[in-house]
Chain A
Amino acid sequence: MGSRKSCAGSAAPAVLMAIVILLLVGSTLYFHIAKTWWFPPAITPVGHQIDQQFFVTFIVTGIVFVLAQLALAWMVFKYRDHGQKARFVRGNHMLEVIWTTATLVIFVGLGVMAAHAWGEVHFGGPAPGALQVEVTGVQFVWNFRYPGPDGKFGRIIPKDIDASTGNPLGLDPNDPASKDDIVSGDLYLPVNRPIELMLRSQDVIHSFFVRELRIKQDTVPGLVIPVHFSVTKIGDYEITCNQLCGLGHYHMHAMLHVLSDADFQQWEQKQEAQNAQ
């Protein structure tokens, strides 16, 4: 690689680079705009806020992505060795200040914008009158517990946990509050009502995730973690475990059924009747 001989034929790599980068940029833009593999529609108000924030971030980073990749391709092509002398430049102080400041403002700005949606999910408590449901993860099933007509959750005694005798959560048989607790393998929620999920785990860390809710929260043994939201659309949605929990991690699966108020009450009454037997 002599410095004074011109490197003829060096256009090929530059052209190839440009082609690959153009393909990259083109395909990336295409799949994002066409939404070929995409989020399902959100069913919570906070979900819409999150989608909005995603869109803003996508636009900003998308512009940077396209400009940076194209700049790279263009410069690699324009400044390929065809006998020219390289420009001896050490830097440019003003440019450094400008692009540092701009980047800082844009990045931190995005973060500040996103704080609102995060606060919706996690800051403060749920709206008053929220329906409380306790979610318990265990290798490899989900259990959902409702307080029942007395509105109180019964005490849990770990040594009483025994799924084979129908007590997967270890409800204390001597606690009157636990007699009317409803335990279900799927999550049933009424539409348009504030919900508070109390997330727990019996053994290892799991994670409760429903795509349409835009909510994900690890369930940690030893902690009870609250998450609040309300659902705006009736339907059936899949619940997956999202934190490696052992060999059955991939099939730790349950369903979220969002029902109308009437249907939900009907479901509750049916469960209470079964409990009474």
Chain B
Amino acid sequence: MPHTSATEELEILGTGGGAKPPSGPGGDGDGPAGSRSGMPQRIYVTGITIGMAGILMFFMAFVSAFIVRKGVGSDWHAFPMPRILWLNTLILLASSVTMVRARRFFARDDREGFRHWWAVTTILGFLFLAGQLIAWRQMVASGFYLATNASSSFFYVLTAAHGLHLLGGIVALLYVGSGKLKRLTLATATEVASLYWHFMDGLWVFLFLLLLLGR
């Protein structure tokens, strides 16, 4: 067994060198605004990123179930894609654009512009959800219910799961828009909300294409 070298011993006893130390808790806050709670603001960005990974796995489970079920079942029949879904997709994409706009205004310290476009984003989010409900009604009108066949089952499951998660996103948008933030700075809150929102948008585009091409 090799013994530690003399320099290693010194390192342990003496200099305590090694890797560059990360900053500690309560250390770097969020720029001049500082941190309000002693916890660095970056934890919220880390948190939402990690959360998105977990949510992604949840949806990927449904997607893989979709693929397998389509492959084995004999009752996979296409349903007519509710027409409003195309409009809903556009609305959600637009909401991402308006959100980017809002953040640009925020970065330029134009709070008026920021609040305006943030509100537009929120309204577009509500419109999307309303549109999803209409899509469900269009499905029912064409005679495709939850248990009609496997394809329609997945339609409802995927849109419901996405819709619920998007509703959470809308709640976040409202929270940010209210301005009554407790632990997060406005900058952090907008960053966290926008990460989640774009994720929901991208996820929807993926699910939309999956349903469109795979149904």
Contacts and interface: CB of A to CB of B under 8 A. Distances in A.
Interface stretch (B1-9, B56-64, B168-176): B1-9
A38 interface: no
B3 A88 contact: yes
Interface residues of A, number: 6
A88 B9 CA distance: 10
Interface string B1-45: 111100000000000000000000000000000000000000000
A55 to B, nearest CB: 37
A79 to B, nearest CB: 14
A92 interface: yes
Nearest to A95: B1
Interface in B70-123: 72
B24 to A, nearest CB: 26
Interface in A71-91: 87-90
A226 to B, nearest CB: 17
Nearest to A87: B1
Interface string A213-233: 000000000100000000000
A92 B4 contact: no
Contacts of A89: 1-4
A88 B2 contact: no
Contacts of A87: 1
A88 B4 CA distance: 8
Contacts of A90: 4
A14 to B, nearest CB: 22
B11 to A, nearest CB: 12
B67 to A, nearest CB: 17
B107 to A, nearest CB: 49
A158 to B, nearest CB: 14
Interface of A: 87-90, 92, 222
Query: 5 tightest CB-CB pairs across the interface, nearest first?
Result: A89-B1, A92-B1, A88-B4, A90-B4, A92-B2
11 contacts: A87-B1, A88-B3, A88-B4, A89-B1, A89-B2, A89-B3, A89-B4, A90-B4, A92-B1, A92-B2, A222-B72
Given A89-B3, A222-B72, 9 more contacts: A87-B1, A88-B3, A88-B4, A89-B1, A89-B2, A89-B4, A90-B4, A92-B1, A92-B2
